[in-house]
A and B are shown apart, each in its own frame.
Chain A
């Protein structure tokens, strides 16, 4: 029988090598052995995604690989997440997420969503081609701490500015994250956003850094 460490290692490597079946088996064996599900998510799955982020930053992995790693991660998360008790879930925050109206692509959005799923946030996914007011309405309805928007096309990114203004006017404490291929850091600053992810890939990099920080916080 494998030890806890071995199973964590199997989940981690399964994510890195995008082996969904390996991750599923390891996650199930891990649960069956009675280990804490949250540790499995953080020290197995998320630890694997952290390596994926490093490989992406080093230009060894690209978006296709990252998407497949994300599938492997979700395969494990689907097994472990139902076994994380609410009270153990330190982060009980909420995020509203979506691709902005005029943009029917959602790869960047889905990668950012993954980071929130891993961290155990409640994710309100509005999908794609989302009218501007919908972000504002959903934030007010759910009282979410963060609104994350993505636009893959230059021609849709200007809409983000309006959403930020609308949200900040009603609730200045909401954190705003922008992502999508054409949005440069300068643009994010101009629009008054609080977080920024340059591309689908950077969304992953940034997201993984956030996961890493969460893992560090747990260790303290």
Chain B
């Protein structure tokens, strides 16, 4: 089966650190639309460390309750980057991608709207092409959705073997 995948490419070398992407994202998600600007409500952030020449636009992905245990530091072309500099998780370790009033996570929705946008707003605002948008078709395996019970049972079967599980289930069924 083919599926349309929407992708934002990030070219770190082209970023001038201007944060127009944050401005545009927050304006687009304001109610009414474009009525206010507030980068701290943006779902994209340019992680910046000027002394390290680090400019990394990251996009809010998923909410997670816990922060990582330990982090890696990557060295790329002689510059150190924390793992967090590339991570879009909305996590307790940082004050990022959380609504400043409610604290609720702000997740990137690729600016889905009606009528649809040609490109997400952050990409539209990036005149330097540090952010570019593409839609690609990807072949994906057809997936049969399995219920939680079945997934649970599968893990028991994997561990104890089908025969034992079958016997137990039969015994339980006849207990009364």
A and B: interacting chains: no
